[in-house]
Amino acid sequence: MRLCALSLSLFLVVPAVAAKPEKADKQKKADIATAKADTASAERDELKVSGVLEAGFDINNKVNRKETDYNRIGYGKIEISARPVKKVRAEFGFEYKDRDSMMVIDKLYAQYNFADFGGVRIGYMKKSFGLEERAGVEERYFHKRSIVNDGLEEVATNLLKHDLTFQYRHKIGEKWRLVGGFSWAADSVYGVVSWDPTRFHQNYYQNYSVEYEDSTKNLILAGIIGHYTHPAYDLTAWATSLSFKYLARLFVSETELTFGNKPLEYLDDESAFFWGARLQEYFPLGTGLKTLRQVIPVAEAALYSKDMESKDFDAQLRAGVTLGFAKNSAFQWRNTYGTVLRIRDGERELRRRRYDSEVVVVF
């Protein structure tokens, strides 16, 4: 009799115990479904606002011209990112520079991610190129870009301008990315007697890049091809860049090599080749303090030649220190001193000395 009662009690208890995991599984699935719904809703309603403000002064002593320019540094940029619906993201940004009389649009585009590995962007944006060109003020510790990127903008007929762009971005795994784009712009041309200054010429650009990025390394191979058409001429200019960034425990190293061509004369079929190289090292040193969070020494060397056949080139040396305050160094005080030497026929000529001091706020 006792055996029967024990068997009956076990028979009743076992189903009850077995039912608990099933109930827990159902509850777990419900929680996961709720979390996914919350995540999807958050993705649709996500709105981010970020920006950077920059103010200071710039003393540019042009030794070769025996003159010194005293300029203010004033810059502001605000970016807005929104996800109105799933897989669609809209980016809008505008900036103000002290040399401009009004704010200008920095970017205005929409991106549709049709799959986890690919997406398209359409709108007004900057072309994808090397490390320094892609970095914003909050990531560049020097007020001015290097002579390599400034030279590229000057001699390569505006390859790095903002334009109307269609861009495709493709991911391969977690570390590789392919980017291809087509841009268009129309400009009026002045300064050449044989051209009609009231007419417009069309500019078309092809832009490609391959990028590898992990927790410590970033490798970019990029190229831009510009096609310039006008009733008086038809030209092609191009530039390519190989960039490498390495994040070590105590320092960050950036290296860039740039090569390209430019038309010698706009009405001439001949071209000249330019080249540039840039090496930058900076050392983000934590202080452990609540106010002064970081001290970041920065040093850079750059070489640039706008005509390889002439064998003349410019050498730029810059050094500075950035003091980072607040969390993540959102408030920075940057000081930089730099020189530019021109090497011509083996002779060195000091072209300029430059000192700038600026305060940068990132939000």
Q: What 3 state SS string does 239-304 have?
A: EEEEEEEEECCCCEEEEEEEEEEEECCCCCCCEEEEEEEEEEEECCEECCCCCEEEEEEEEEEEEE
Tell me the per-residue pLDDT of 32-78, one tens digit each, with 9 for 90 and over: 554 444 444 444 558 899 999 999 999 999 998 899 999 999 999 99
- Using an 8 Å Cβ cutoff, are 137 and 359 in contact? no
Q: Concatenated DSSP letters for 146-200? A: PHHHHHHHHHTTSTTSEEEEEEEEEEETTTEEEEEEEEEEEEE--S-TTS-TTSE
Average pLDDT of every residue of the chain: 83
Domain extents for the chain?
112-362
Tell me the per-residue pLDDT of 318-350, one tens digit each, with 9 for 90 and over: 999 999 999 888 999 999 999 999 998 888 999
Fold for the domain defined by 112-362:
Porin (2.40.160)
Containing H/E element for 205?
A: strand 200-213
Query: Given pLDDT bands bounded at 50, 70 and 90, which one contains residue 193?
Result: very low
- Using an 8 Å Cβ cutoff, are 56 and 357 in contact? yes
229 three-state secondary structure = strand
Tell me the per-residue pLDDT of 248-263, one tens digit each, with 9 for 90 and over: 989 999 999 999 987 7
Q: How far apart are CA 312 and CA 65, in angstroms?
A: 19
- A 10 A CB-CB count for 320 gives 21
Average pLDDT over residues 11-18: 39
* Residue 31 pLDDT > 70: no
* Residue 131 pLDDT > 50: yes
* Residue 111 pLDDT > 90: yes
Look at residue 128 in the predicted model and tell me its pLDDT. 81
Look at residue 196 in the predicted model and tell me its pLDDT. 46
232 three-state secondary structure = coil
Tell me the per-residue pLDDT of 142-190, one tens digit each, with 9 for 90 and over: 999 999 988 887 766 678 888 999 999 999 999 999 999 999 987 644 3
